[in-house]
Amino acid sequence: MRSLTIAILGAFALILAACDLGPKSSFGFTLPDGNADYGQAYFVEFRCVDCHTVVGLEDELVAPEGIDPIMDVPLGGQTTRIATYGELVTSIINPSHKVSTQYRLSPAMEEEVSPMRNYNSIMTVDELIDIVAFVQEQYELKPYNRTVYRMY
Ligand code: HEC
């Protein structure tokens, strides 16, 4: 019994050590719920549409007349894991945090700087949470298909 307790405590210690709870950890970070309808309007207003299409809303969310889209990074659609609020906020306020190699403007882009615009000094927190609520709603969890084993 005692060794079981020690084993459980040891496992907890390992789990805690594995989580990064340093001063820069996002632990404890939450946002109030946003309004996805407002978020959709902001998505066009902030011209996210210059670079993003939204799966299922390709015809509704378009760059204003006469403006050519810069690139097409699709957001939304089916996914096996919906990005958390924290991840989505990070992709908006700190897009270079995780720049996918796919979207480097050129192979010469040594520095990992996202081509995504920086909105930090023009977007209010309310606008940010509404946009995040809207973007998050666009993802749909892919149904998990069980493997069907045939009877032999
Ligand atoms: C100038 C082009 C550009 C604009 C404008 C832009 N983005 Fe992006 N965005 C990108 C690129 C490129 C990526 C791919 C990740 C990377 O490499 O930076 C990206 C990634 C993202 C992601 C993460 C997607 C994922 O699958 O991880 C989100 C969310 C996002 N953008 C939201 C927005 C929102 C919201 C706006 C408007 C406020 C916006 N973007 C405006 C270029 C842009």
* CATH for 58: 1.10.760
- The answer to the question of residue 36 being in a domain is yes
Determine the distance separating the centroid of ligand 1 and the alpha carbon of 41, expressed in angstroms. 16
Which is nearest to 38 in space by CA: 133, 138, 125, 124?
Answer: 133
pTM comes to 0.80
- Reported as a single tens digit per residue, the pLDDT across 81-117 is 888 888 899 999 988 776 665 555 555 555 677 888 9
Is position 16 within any domain?
no
So what's the pLDDT on residue 40? 96
pLDDT band at 55 (very low <50, low <70, confident <90, very high): very high
pLDDT at position 125 is: 95
Structure tokens at 109: 């882009």
How many domains does the structure of the chain reveal?
A: 1
Nearest CA to ligand 1 atom 21: 91
Residue 130 structural domain: 29-141
Whether 3 is in a domain gets the answer no
Q: Name the residue of 73, 121, 127, 131 to mutate for ligand 1: max ligand atoms within 8 A of Cβ.
A: 73
pLDDT of residue 66: 83
Please check whether residue 11 lies inside any domain of the structure.
no
Collapse the DSSP code of 116 into the 3-class scheme (helix H, G, I; strand E, B; otherwise coil) and give the result: coil
CB of 54 within 6 A of ligand 1: the answer is no
Residue 7 lies in a domain: no
Per-residue pLDDT at 147: 75
Assess if residue 61 is contained within a domain.
Answer: yes
In a 10 Å sphere around its CB, with 0-12 CB exposed, 13-18 middle and 19+ buried, how is residue 130 labelled?
buried
The confidence band for 53, taking pLDDT boundaries of 50, 70 and 90, is very high
> 87 CB under 6 A from ligand 1?
no
